[in-house]
Amino acid sequence: MLSSYRQIFAAPGSLAFSSAGFIARLPISMTGIGIITMLSELRGTFGVASLVAATMAVSAAVLGPQVSRLVDRHGQRRIIRPAAALTLLAAAGLLLCARFEAPDWTLFVFAAGMGVMPSAGAMVRARWAHLYRDEAPRLHSAYSFEAVVDEVCFIVGPILSVMLATSVFPEAGVLLSGIFLAVGVALFAAQRTTEPPVHPASRQTGRPAILNRGLQVLILTFVSTGAIFGSVEVVTVAFTKAQGHAGTSGPILALWAFGSCLAGVVFGTLKLTGSMAVRFLGGVVLMAVSMVPLLVVAESVNGVGGLVAVGGALLIAGVAISPTLITAAALVERLVPAAQLTEGMTWTITGLAMGVAAGSSAGGLVVDAAGAAAGYWVPVAAGLFGVLAALAGLGRLRSGLAAGKAAVPSAETVDLGR
């Protein structure tokens, strides 16, 4: 199993850019929860804290793909350093305003400025695609490895951010995320030998990647996937609190991420055949179906038994996550021209972030109105929406893959999802 992953790091510089990318993407999982914890500690309210974090998320959804588009046009190194610098300046302003009790509107201004944070995950995957575009099995393993790294980021990052903010000082979580961003981007930008070349075509076309019909299907499906993530997190916190064991929410959610990590590691070693589009639809269906047992056990079992049952259901549900996200990354690489790959990857991340925000809000509203167990109806509904979106867009994905196959026949000699 491990030989599949050793092979991808045989390329010079691959371990260096992947490691730097891990550090650079930690802030994505730390900053939002860090802002909420910081402001709730300093100002005693979750209302403003949540709105400020949501402002940053919306700004990232608007500005993130534009930053990535500039990366595709002008190169990673030239864009990510100034983008990171602007993000750090905005973060410093937010920290100062929070500490010195500046008016609330200043918090929103600086939070919006943090939306230019570069998408390290998209750029790492663009480097893997540059290295192994014509070696599909290795590219599959590389995407699988990065999916596992993402899961590790979203396990470690929030726990670290909240722990520092509550035990050291309120600004500590956001401050550390800024340090990670500065160090990670500096190390990543220094890896020049593995940086994808700037394609001349990217300077000549004004057509955004979002107009790609296959990519639109992935984005819409990722909105529903993000809604599953966001709602499950909020509802699980509420459920554990309702059972009188609020401190168990972290370990229970970690089981969900662990299931995804384990599936990602195994999935990356498989030699897959058949239609990549159908495989993606199957993953989306499996994610949706895996939410149903979670709802059933939450509504039927109480106390410690209910917590154990929910944890077990989440562990099993996590198995569907990484394979679906890995397949989606491979689809983006085939659907979007190489000159727009970073932008295309970022759009899927944007869809995921928008879904997380919507799912968190919907989950909270349902919990307040009908109770914690009923809140699990939100991920069930989100999963159903994702299935409908993927099913309706299956034809677009197939036609997009067929067009990509005609454009890059040399990449089709391997037996991976074509």
For residue range 32-60, what is the model confidence (pLDDT) as tens digits?
778 877 887 888 766 677 788 878 888 88
Contact 267, 144 (CB under 8 A): yes
Residues 6+ apart with CB under 8 A from 296: none
pLDDT at 206 over 70: no
Residues 182 and 213 in one domain: no
| pLDDT cut 90: percent of the chain above it | 33
- pLDDT value of residue 234: 77
Write down which residue in 137, 159, 194 finishes a domain. Answer: 194
**How much is the mean pLDDT over the chain?**
84
Residues 397 and 291 in one domain: yes
Interval 185-193 mean pLDDT = 93
Residues 188 and 244 in one domain: no
- pLDDT value of residue 405: 53
Residue (of 287, 347, 291, 294) closest to 322 by Cα position:
287
Residues 396 and 348 in one domain: yes
Residues 384 and 294 in one domain: yes
pLDDT grade for 199, boundaries at 50, 70 and 90: low
- Residue type, position 46, single letter: F
pLDDT at 281 over 50: yes
Q: Is there a domain that residue 296 lies in?
A: yes
Write down which residue in 135, 166, 194 finishes a domain. Answer: 194
pLDDT grade for 90, boundaries at 50, 70 and 90: very high
- Domain boundaries, position 21: 16-194
Residues 172 and 218 in one domain: no
Q: In terms of pLDDT, which residue wins out, 186 or 299?
A: 186
Write down which residue in 143, 166, 194 finishes a domain. Answer: 194
Two tokens, residue 32: 């939002």
- Residue 36's SS3 state is helix
Residues 224 and 367 in one domain: yes
User: Per mean pLDDT, which range of 100-114, 333-347, 368-382 is the poorest?
Assistant: 333-347
Q: Is there a domain that residue 203 lies in?
A: no
Residues 175 and 28 in one domain: yes
Q: Is there a domain that residue 184 lies in?
A: yes
Number of structural domains in the chain: 2
- pLDDT value of residue 200: 56
Out of 219-228, 230-239, 354-363, the most confident range is 219-228
What whole-number distance in Å separates Cα of residue 384 and Cα of residue 386? 5
pLDDT at 78 over 70: yes
Q: Which residue has the tokens 């160090």?
A: 183
Interval 241-264 mean pLDDT = 81
- Residue type, position 266, single letter: V
Residues 412 and 274 in one domain: yes
pLDDT grade for 210, boundaries at 50, 70 and 90: confident
Q: Is there a domain that residue 81 lies in?
A: yes
- pLDDT value of residue 408: 43
Two tokens, residue 356: 């997380």
Contact 144, 127 (CB under 8 A): no
- pLDDT value of residue 289: 96
Q: Is there a domain that residue 199 lies in?
A: no
Q: What is the CATH number of the domain that holds 95?
A: 1.20.1250.20
Where are the alpha helices (H) located in 268-302, listed in sequence order?
Answer: 276-300
- Residue type, position 166, single letter: T
Read off φ and ψ for residue 103, nearest 5 degrees: -55, 150
* E-state strands within 157-225: none
- pLDDT value of residue 378: 93
Q: Is there a domain that residue 62 lies in?
A: yes
Q: Is there a domain that residue 201 lies in?
A: no
DSSP state of 268: T
Residues 152 and 215 in one domain: no
Residues 49 and 153 in one domain: yes
Q: Could you count the other beta carbons within 10 Å of the beta carbon of residue 402?
A: 13
pLDDT at 383 over 50: yes
Residues 188 and 214 in one domain: no
- pLDDT value of residue 105: 92
Query: H-helix or E-strand containing 399?
Result: helix 394-407
Cα dihedral 397, 403, 408, 412 sign: positive
pTM for this one?
0.76
